[in-house]
Amino acid sequence: MSTAFIPARYFRVLLQLLQERSLDPMEPLARIGLTADFIRSQQDDFLTLEQVEALVGWSLRATGNLSLGVHLGQRLNLSAHGVTGYAGLCAPTLGEALRVAQRFQPLVMPLTDLLVEEQDGQSHLLIRPALPMAEPLCQFILDATAASIYVQGRFLYPETWQSVRAQIPYPVSHYDAEALAAYRDVAIQFDAAELRLSLPTELLSFPLALANEQSFQLAVRQCEALLSAIPKPGGRAELLRQCLLQAGPPLPSLNALARQRHVSERTLRRQLLQEGVRWRDLLTEVKMALAKQYLMANQDSITAIALRLGYNDSANFARAFRQHCGMSPTQWRQ
């Protein structure tokens, strides 16, 4: 099974969004093996990448709104990020708050990396996927991250944002009017090469109203402790899973993956077993993850998807899908 390393608290907010749109959150929860207790829980628990893929995929399909990530990000203010948000709140300057966000991003959203570059009096915050993600999940995560950073920035720096620019790697047609209004005072370039927010470097010296050095240092130490304790998706099984997802069908064999890593197939199989994972189960998990993407993203027939994934016929594929997901491919697509 995949490592559960993605903070669940943000996806509880997503379920609240679905409820506000008169959608029943129990259906997507059932697909990822969770109950209604998940919505009410106050635990700092985690989801797997596969659970996030399924939950976001269902939400996008049910709402028909590709800009749902922006709507989620608008609700993720500083207080939504726990001690990481508190560290940013009591940082001495806007620049220090940005460095906190960059350093402790794995505590907030480990699916994205933050990188700050400075050039010609401008500071650029680049937001990049930390792991290979298929669309539309990638857009959802990037949009949510950018919108959340914008909301936090507006709170910390309440002055005009007309000197701030945003580059978004998706067309304007992917965003509804409410999502575009969220960036009302920012100049946006759509269809850009990557996601970045740019602002004059001089703004980073802006002193924050709630700055408190003692509280800031305490919060940073707490963030460091949390960072060392969070689950990490760096096991052999997770790495192979990402390689398989990136390769796509026809999926490489275990022998081919072993040769790429200059080890024997027997060694690679043993390494998986040491993590409690069988190659056959990992392969099935990846096939099911790809199947969900194909079922959601296009109108290919069940038979076409089955053959694409290496099944002999649709019956074998449907049987495997039902065993893994608890419903037929047709039911999942609806």
User: What is the DSSP code string of 189-200?
Assistant: E-S-SSEEEEEE
Which pair of structure tokens corresponds to residue 67? 């800009």
Question: What's the average model confidence in pLDDT over 104-123?
Answer: 92
| pLDDT score of 232 more than 80 | no
Name 169's bridge partners.
none
Which neighbouring-strand residues pair with 46?
7
**Mean of all residue pLDDT scores within the chain:** 90
Residue 230: is its pLDDT beyond 80? no
Strand, coil or helix: 183: coil
Asked if pLDDT for residue 217 goes beyond 70, the answer is yes
Q: What is the pLDDT of residue 122?
A: 95
Give the DSSP letter string of 116-154: EEEETTEEEEEEEESS---TTHHHHHHHHHHHHHHHHHH
Q: Closest Cα partner for 72 from 88, 61, 59, 82?
A: 59
- Please name the helix (run of DSSP H) or strand (run of DSSP E) that holds residue 61, with its range, or none: helix 49-63
Q: pLDDT band at residue 220, thresholds of 50, 70 and 90?
A: very high
The C-alpha atoms of residue 173 and residue 103 are separated, in whole angstroms, by 33
**Confidence class of residue 87 from pLDDT cuts 50, 70 and 90?**
very high
- Name the pTM for this structure: 0.74
pLDDT above 60 (res 1): no
Pairing state of beta strands 122-129 and 46-48?
unpaired
Name the superfamily (CATH) of residues 236-333: Homeodomain-like (1.10.10.60)
Q: Indicate the residue type of 286.
A: V
Q: What is the mean pLDDT of residues 222-240?
A: 80
pLDDT score of 2: 67
The encoded tokens of residue 100 equal 């906190």
pLDDT at position 86 is 96
Asked if residue 299 has pLDDT above 80, the reply is no
Q: What is the mean pLDDT of residues 206-214?
A: 95
- Domain regions of the chain by residue span: 65-229, 236-333
**238-287 pLDDT per residue, tens:** 788 878 888 889 999 999 998 888 888 988 988 888 777 889 888 988 89
Identify the band that residue 192 occupies on the pLDDT scale cut at 50, 70 and 90.
very high
Higher-pLDDT residue of 323, 249: 249
> Average pLDDT in the 292-314 region?
87
* Mean pLDDT value across residues 54-76: 96
| 98-112: average pLDDT | 93
